[in-house]
Amino acid sequence: MVPGSLCRAWLDHRLIRLQTGCAVARVQAVAAGWQALDAAGSVLAEADAVVLANAREVLNLSRTRAGRCIPCAGRSANCRPAVCRNCGEWSRARAMWRRRTAAGRRHLRTRRRSHCARAASDRSNLARLEAILPGAGERFAAEAVHGRASLRATLPDRLPLVGAVGGQSGLFVAAGYASRGVVWAGLLGEALADLMTGQPLPLEADLMRAIAPDRFARR
């Protein structure tokens, strides 16, 4: 699955207007609903409800007591079927990804905002590849590996954060998907839309409570 094409398919709807190239500095409640504003105070958009889906920065806009979003570094060092074992992965990307072979996905809990690639992580990923498929690591020269690192947002209980923000009518959040965004986004997006519009939910009530933003305040 190529995430970019999936996102484009989801956005291909006559009622969706995609606005890029701008950064939301804050959201504020107004008589008609909510406004999203940039750093200069200019209104970027207005709506009757807002869904914050900005990963680890969500707490900066929602001011919710949801707990700490913990940056989790995911590290990939540079076969059509993917081979997964012991938190490692080996796969051959499709042609549109320039036929690169990827090995890794090492997850590290970190408080650092930096997500620079590190040689130590490259070596660790190659060692994990050798453990998954003995002999496969011989294809790579450690000094020639080109890695990529990113940050994922997780919460202390490793569950996503989906639902209404308490005490702020019309404000909702969808974040904390960590490495399961592609798997969870469709179902949880539908659940959130149904919650906002008062429709029957596709998930049991206890599951919705387990991922609700106020769950940390209840503990």
Domain range enclosing 90:
71-153
Residue 179 has pLDDT above 50, yes or no: yes
Residues 79 and 133 in one domain: yes
Whether residue 152 has pLDDT greater than 90:
no
Section 175-195 average pLDDT: 90
Average pLDDT of the residues in 88-109 = 47
76 plus 136 within the same structural domain: yes
Q: What are phi and psi of 39, to 5 degrees?
A: -65, -25
Regarding whether 87 and 58 lie in a shared domain, the answer is: no
Q: Are residues 139 and 77 in the same domain?
A: yes
pLDDT, the chain, mean:
76
CATH of the domain at 10: 3.50.50.60
Number of domains in the chain: 2
Q: Average pLDDT of 72-76?
A: 48
Query: Quick check: 146 pLDDT over 50?
Result: yes
pLDDT of residue 144: 65
Higher pLDDT, 89 or 218: 218
Is residue 126 within 8 A of residue 103, CB to CB? The reply is: yes
Q: Place 105 in a pLDDT band, splitting at 50, 70 and 90.
A: low
Higher per-residue pLDDT: 109 or 216:
216
Count of other CB atoms within 10 angstroms of residue 18? 8
